Amino acid sequence: MYTRPLARLIEQLQRLPGIGPKSAQRLALHILKRPHEEVQILAQSLIDAKQQVGFCQVCFHLSAEPVCEICANPNRDNSTICVVSESRDVIALEKTREYRGKYHVVGGVISPMDGIGPEQLNIQPLVRRVSQQKIDEVIIAISPSVEGETTTLYIGRLLKPFTRVTRIAFGLPMGGDLEYADEVTLARALEGRRELD
């Protein structure tokens, strides 16, 4: 149906999340219509991003520097850490402009079925951070799915000996995923946080 290099491009695009066969075809045909330089920039930016973006060594948010901009910002509150599952949750919370503390990205949720235990996540570095620094509050902002709940309770139990632990007030739609919540809802969820029991 497609000439071979085009078929390959469509096949690769289709592997991206949220891209079905039709979207992949539309994107591929669009790319072929663009000027050569523009396609070159797109291809190069894919490679550059993959090569240059790693994890902040403090909070594990995506960063091109060893320490991310949020951790390096002296105007942010050092005594509060918001724990999230993925970097995209940091981005969602930053958009609310309500939160002025720091973050910690654990990198997923505990899911024994998928072979993800606590040791596969950035939980030990979090415990180290909280036990070694003066932290007044840890706010856990992990979606309340079954795995998210397990992860929240697990982290809460580890951190409680060192600091106050709260969780944000979910009641969010779509299984409560942070990235799907609008900024106002998310700001309210943060505002309405409560003690983790």
Task: Give residues 37-76 in contact with Zn ion (rule: CB under 5 A).
Answer: 56, 58-59, 61, 68, 71
Q: How far is the CB of 120 from Zn ion (least distance, A)?
A: 20
Q: How far is the CB of 68 from Zn ion (least distance, A)?
A: 3
Q: Taking CB under 5 A as the rule, does residue 82 contact Zn ion?
A: no
Of 56 and 189, nearer to Zn ion (C-beta) is 56
Q: What are phi and psi of 11, to 5 degrees?
A: -60, -40
Q: How far is the CB of 52 from Zn ion (least distance, A)?
A: 16
Strand, coil or helix: what is 14? coil
Q: How far is the CB of 56 from Zn ion (least distance, A)?
A: 3
Burial of 168 (0-12, 13-18, 19+ CB in 10 A): buried
- Per DSSP (E only), the strands in 152-193 are 164-167
Of 9 and 178, nearer to Zn ion (C-beta) is 178
Q: Taking CB under 5 A as the rule, does residue 28 contact Zn ion?
A: no
Residue-wise burial string across 115-141, b where 16 or more C-beta atoms lie within 10 A, e elsewhere: ebeeeebbbeebeebbeeeebeebbbb
Of 99 and 170, nearer to Zn ion (C-beta) is 99
Q: How far is the CB of 156 from Zn ion (least distance, A)?
A: 22
Number of residues that bind Zn ion (CB under 5 A): 6
Tokens found for residue 38? 């523009």
Of 125 and 176, nearer to Zn ion (C-beta) is 125
Q: What are phi and psi of 85, to 5 degrees?
A: -80, -50
For residues 185 and 155, is the Cβ–Cβ distance under 8 A? Answer: no
Of 90 and 196, nearer to Zn ion (C-beta) is 90
Residues engaged in binding Zn ion (CB under 5 A) = 56, 58-59, 61, 68, 71
